[in-house]
Amino acid sequence: MRAGEADAAGRIYDRYFDHIYRYIALQVRDPGRAEALTEWVFLQMVQGAGAGPARRETVAIWLYRITHDLPALASPLHPAAGPAAVAGAAGSRAPDQDGEAHGHLWRGIGDLPTPQAQIVLLKCAARLTNAEVSAVLNRPLTGIPALQYRALQRLGDVIGPRGTRR
């Protein structure tokens, strides 16, 4: 890797590490494992630095696509570990500080089918646009709003009114 590429990779790492870590941590619910997987994503980025993002693909989309392809994230989310395991990564407090409703939300996301949980995390935690989510999940852009709607409807059914678990 040349000096200019190393500098660019360092800037990308500094800008996106926390975002990618948070996305992974919310899924694996283990801070140590999330950190190792995040490092792996950036290693893949460096190893593929010559290729870089595909044409008309932002760096963020490229990194989330690398992340989305992680075999460790292919299985459903792990709701049993609870939100306290990644409270710092998620930028929020643990459920005992935010109330029980917060814990219901995390468990509710864990109860969603994987595609629905992923869209909730990509839209709400990663704050990606519909176009970015479409690129990351390799799904048609026109289907993203419907998938998000179904995910939020199901999440509402799972957690119930005012965060009371149904």
- Whether residue 11 contacts residue 61, with contact meaning beta carbons closer than 8 Å, is answered with no
* Range of the structural domain that residue 136 is part of: 3-92+99-163
Task: State the pLDDT confidence band at 94, using cuts at 50, 70 and 90.
Answer: very low
What CATH number is given to the structural domain containing 120? 1.20.140.160
Distance between CA atoms of residues 152 and 17, nearest Å: 27
pLDDT at 110: 81
Say which residue the tokens 């935690």 belong to.
125
pTM of the model: 0.70
Average pLDDT of the residues in 142-153: 94
Higher model confidence: residue 68 or residue 3?
A: 68
Report the domain count for the chain.
1
Percent of the chain with pLDDT over 90: 26
Instruction: Classify each residue of 85-102 as buried b or exposed e, where b means 16 or more C-beta atoms within 10 Å of its C-beta.
Output: bbbebbeeebbeeeeeeb
